[in-house]
A and B are shown apart, each in its own frame.
Chain A
Amino acid sequence: MTTINTPAIDTTAIDTLRFATAGSVDDGKSTLVGRLLHDSKSVLADQLEAVEHASRNRGQDAPDLALLTDGLRAEREQGITIDVAYRYFATPRRRFILADTPGHVQYTRNMVTGASTAELAIVLVDARNGVVEQTRRHAAVAALLRVPHVVLAVNKMDLVGYEEQRFDRIVQDFAGHAEELGLPGFTPIPVSALVGDNVVERSAHMDWYAGPALLEFLETVPVGAENVDAPARFPVQYVIRHDEVRYYAGQLVSGALRVGDRVTVQPSGETSEITGIDALGTPVEVAYAPQSITVRLADQRDVSRGDMITAGASADAPTLTRDVRAAACHLAERPLRVGDRVLVRHTTRTAKAIVRDLGGATELCANDLGRITLRTAEPLALDDYADVRRTGAFILVDPADGATLTAGMADLS
């Protein structure tokens, strides 16, 4: 649970930042997360007591903050993080949902998972080692998943004498890779997670750094990326029938819908008009992403789960296609091969598909980033992932055992 000094019953003013962390094995990521939780007073007495107890059992004098985030027995025993862990904390200014992802190369899929819903990613580097192969990989994942903000946290500054030139060199180096990867920008912050420099409090050891401490930046970075001007996208999840009226239930994943809007049902292309919108019990004139709503249409159309209601100019319409080109990250242990028959899960629709091409490769192995072309059994209403994350994203599923195989990000250009 979270700790807030003044209880805020009216939470309307408080928003949420979802962010993800990534770092190599020894970059001190768990320590950074532990420090963030500890110094923001989000760690409660019994949790700290458990960590102190476990640290003593391991023969350590000071509480090992990394133990706060290692949830599974194997993780504690091996001193590594295996799986994405979600953490919750709050300050008076904002709520935070942190996807804490392990950084080993074989767990790239975990960072992809954490980054898929994140609005900010913290890429951690060790100031002694600078940008390494895994740093580039983490930057590549953040760029691929279109995470809107990236923080480069240069950690262990205490071990390099808080040296400004060292920090600058790492930032320069990372900037080169960022540009190459198409990362729109990043915010570098010099920190020491172990000592606490620039994590919650600004450091007294680096007067050459004028920027915010990490938490300060997390509290002030703009959020709410589902923007109102984006085209309206409303995948139908479920049809509620009541007193001969059909209510199309779903979550508005992009843009806004208004009563009176002319809308198109994808993929049939039929058009209609919105006659009513309910926002969980309240009739409204307009709804915005990411609200869950029900929508009523003027005519009795054959609309069902898997269809998508869209509005706006025809230039804004999604692309209806059975030939899907996308960037991909392979997640499963078994490789994906050209010719494989899979299921595509896109918004609320599931369709059969064949893997036509893998960017020239014959297979994609676990944690590979690559390109994919699919031929689907029915048309999908796709947006470029760069334009609308929720309608550009899909997963591939093994029809035999239901395993999640691959993450795809449509690239229609």
Chain B
Amino acid sequence: MTAELTERTYALSHLDALESEAVHIFREVAGEFERPVILFSGGKDSIVMLHLALKAFAPAAIPFSLLHVDTGHNFPEVIDYRDRTVDKHGLRLHVASVQDYIDRGVLRERPDGTRNPLQTVPLTEKIQDEKFDAVFGGGRRDEEKARAKERVFSLRDEFSQWDPRRQRPELWQLYNGRHAPGEHVRVFPLSNWTELDVWQYIAREDIELPQIYFAHQREVFRRAGMWLTAGDWGGPKDGENVEKRLIRYRTVGDMSCTGAVDSDATTLDAVIAEIAASRLTERGATRADDKLSEAAMEDRKREGYF
């Protein structure tokens, strides 16, 4: 009873199809918005975003600037990578600093020392001050259950809030970016990518990454079932023993809540083999902030988190 397909067909490979889709999204934003910006943390997803944007507008320069939300608890390797990348491509970098908000007394340090939840206000105010109307994020729908319901174009109010019940239906590849003054649109070009896709694409395109993504010796201590890097941010506490282990990072974020995994994967191929065999999601393995509750990500998204 199945209909026969008689036409000759041409199927793009999986990675080519994802790449083409992401480039289409970047170009739509360039065509429809006045002041787009790419959220760039120096993590692998934002690095892949930048790579795709460079390809989308070659041979010309990309018509966007970069924005880094700096928690003050950064891995030095990542900040170094960020600055080299900005120089290499002649980009403009904006920084929204959580430390600055804490110093001014606008935000207060949390008892657990975690600064991820503190990023929302500096991010939102920077978007408002700079009048950014489209903000690219590296969020992927495979990361988490609330993100699985996110649109490619996600409308945010002046407080950056996400209302899952008021999302616009998104059909075909017709992205609707209309917004009122003060509102903006979060755009997720990697929506349909998985963690493995990102790594396979990095390998195929030979994209440089910060070294902390590969196995190295590091002084770490155990907290809430994760290996955290010892540092000025407030770890370790009494009773938490520092030890030297062979580890790597699967995600890159605030040092206080991004855990390392035991790994001997020193090359891209070894990392890909490790991920393919992993029995944990990357957030489950490495993010303390997502373990707060069943709806932790949903709540942070509603408040204007990425």
* Contact between B27 and A237, CB atoms less than 8 A apart: yes
Contact of A251 among B3, B11, B24, B276 (CB under 8 A): B24
A132 within 8 A of B: no
Q: How far does the alpha carbon of A241 sit from the alpha carbon of B280 in the complex, in Å?
A: 46
What CA separation (Å) do A199 and B24 show in the bound complex?
Answer: 35
Q: Which residues of A contact B23 (CB under 8 A)?
A: 251, 280, 292
Chain B residue, CB-CB nearest to A110: B169
Q: Are A112 and B149 in contact (CB under 8 A)?
A: no
A242 touches B15 (CB 8 A): no
When the two chains form their complex, are residues B191 and A86 in contact, meaning their CB atoms are under 8 A apart? yes
Asked if B186 lies at the interface with its beta carbon under 8 angstroms from chain A, I say no
Q: Please encode chain B, from 125 to 160, with 1 for each CB lying within 8 Å of some chain A CB and 0 for all others.
A: 000000000000000011011111100000100000
Indicate if the CB atoms of A291 and B171 lie closer than 8 Å.
no
Contact between chains at A1 and B194 (CB < 8 Å): yes
Q: Assess whether B192 is in contact with A402, with CB atoms less than 8 Å apart.
A: no
Interface residue? A15 (CB, 8 A): yes
For A46, what are the chain B residues with a Cβ–Cβ distance below 8 Å? 280-281, 284-285
B192 near A86 with CB under 8 A, answer: yes
| Complex interface: chain B residues within 8 A of A247 (CB) | 59-60
Give the CA-CA distance A7 to B271 in the complex, in Å.
Answer: 10
Asked if B207 lies at the interface with its beta carbon under 8 angstroms from chain A, I say no
Binds A, one of B50-58, B68-76, B84-92, B254-262: B50-58
- Check if A292 sits within 8 Å of B2, measured CB to CB: no
Using an 8 Å CB-CB cutoff, how does the interface string of B100-143 with A read, 1 for contact, 0 for none?
00000000000000000000000000000000000000000110
Cα(A109)–Cα(B168), bound, Å? 11
Q: Closest approach, in angstroms, between the C-beta of A84 and any C-beta of chain B?
A: 7
Given contacts A240-B60, A395-B174, contact A292 B24 (CB under 8 A): yes
Question: Which residue in B9, B21, B142, B294 is a CB contact (below 8 Å) of A50?
Answer: B294
Residues from chain A with Cβ under 8 Å of B14 in the complex: 11, 14-16, 95
Q: Is the CB of A84 within 8 A of B173?
A: no
Q: How far is A11 from B17 in the complex, measured between Cα atoms in Å?
A: 11
Contact A44 B280, beta carbon cutoff 8 Å: yes
How far does the Cβ of B33 sit from chain A's closest Cβ, in whole Å?
11
The answer to whether A251 touches B17 (Cβ under 8 A) is: no
Q: Chain B residues near A148 (CB, 8 Å)?
A: 3, 5
Give bound CA distance, A227 to B10, whole Å. Answer: 6
Residues of A within 8 A of B10 (CB): 224, 226-228, 256, 288-289
Contact across chains for A292 and B56 when beta carbons are under 8 A apart = yes
| A224 and B1 within 8 A (CB) | no
Cβ-defined contact, A47 with B281, below 8 A:
yes
> Residues of B contacting A204 with CB < 8 Å?
none
**Pair A230/B149 contact, Cβ less than 8 Å:** no
Question: Does A91 interact with chain B (Cβ within 8 Å)?
Answer: no
In the complex, the answer to whether B174 meets A70 with C-beta atoms within 8 Å is: no
Do residues B11 and A9 form an inter-chain contact, with CB atoms below 8 A? no
**A residues within 8 A CB of B239?**
none
Closest-CB distance, B118 to chain A (whole angstroms):
23
- Complex: chain B residue closest to A97, CB-CB: B192
Nearest-CB residue, chain B, relative to A407: B171
Within the complex, which residue of A1, A5, A85, A116 is in contact with B196, where a contact is CB–CB below 8 Å? A1
B273 interfacial by beta-carbon distance below 8 Å:
yes
Q: Mark A17-59, 1 if CB is under 8 A from B, else 0.
A: 0000000000000000000000000001111001000100000
By a CB distance below 8 angstroms, the chain B residues around A12 are 13
Q: Which of A16, A73, A345 contacts B17 (CB 8 A)?
A: A16
B226 interfacial by beta-carbon distance below 8 Å:
no
Q: Is A72 an interface residue (CB 8 A)?
A: yes
Contact string, A392-412, partner B, CB cutoff 8 A, digits 1/0? 011101000111100100000
Cα-based distance from A291 to B15 in the complex (angstroms): 11
Segment touching A, from B38-46, B176-184, B215-223, B230-238 = B176-184
Given A71-B146, A82-B164, A401-B180: A240 in contact with B57 (beta carbons within 8 A): yes
CA–CA, A5 to B275, complex, Å? Answer: 10
* C-alpha gap A1/B195 in the complex (Å): 6
Task: Give the chain A neighbours of B192 by CB distance below 8 A.
Answer: 86, 88, 97
Which B residues are CB-close (under 8 A) to A238?
Answer: 27, 30-31, 57
Say which residue of B15, B148, B174, B281 sits within 8 Å of A71 (CB atoms): B148
B167 within 8 A of partner (CB): yes
From A85, A110, A348, A394, contact of B148 by CB (8 A)? A85
In the complex, the answer to whether A116 meets B180 with C-beta atoms within 8 Å is no
Please state if A222 and B172 are interface contacts (CB–CB under 8 Å).
no
Q: Mark A222-257, 1 if CB is under 8 A from B, else 0.
A: 111111111000000110111100010111000010
Rounded to whole angstroms, the CA-CA distance of A88 and B194 in the bound complex is: 7
Inter-chain contact A84/B149, CB cutoff 8 Å: yes
Given contacts A85-B149, A249-B56, contact A225 B9 (CB under 8 A): yes
In the complex, what's the smallest C-beta–C-beta distance from B56 to chain A, in angstroms? 7
- CB neighbours (8 Å) of A290 from chain B are 12, 17, 20-21
Q: Does B264 count as interface, using CB distance less than 8 angstroms?
A: no
Tell me whether A86 and B13 are in contact in the complex, defined as CB-CB below 8 angstroms, given that A113-B171, A237-B27 are known contacts: no
Q: How far is the CA of A305 from the CA of B33 in the complex (A)?
A: 13
Q: Are B178 and A397 in contact (CB under 8 A)?
A: yes
Q: Which residues of B sit under 8 angstroms from A343, Cβ to Cβ?
A: 178
> Is A331 in contact with chain B by the CB < 8 A criterion?
yes
Q: Is A362 an interface residue (CB 8 A)?
A: no
A contact residues around B17 at 8 Å (CB): 15-16, 290
Would you give 13 A-B contacts (Cβ < 8 Å), ordered by A? A3-B277, A44-B284, A87-B142, A113-B171, A116-B172, A186-B2, A227-B10, A230-B7, A281-B55, A292-B56, A331-B169, A397-B178, A404-B171
Identify 15 new A-B residue pairs, CB closer than 8 A, beyond the known A4-B276, A9-B272: A1-B142, A11-B13, A11-B204, A12-B13, A71-B149, A90-B196, A95-B14, A184-B3, A185-B2, A223-B9, A224-B10, A237-B31, A281-B58, A395-B174, A402-B178
Please provide the 8 A-B residue pairs with the shortest distance between their CB atoms, ordered closest to farther: A402-B178, A46-B284, A224-B11, A71-B145, A227-B7, A185-B3, A224-B9, A292-B23
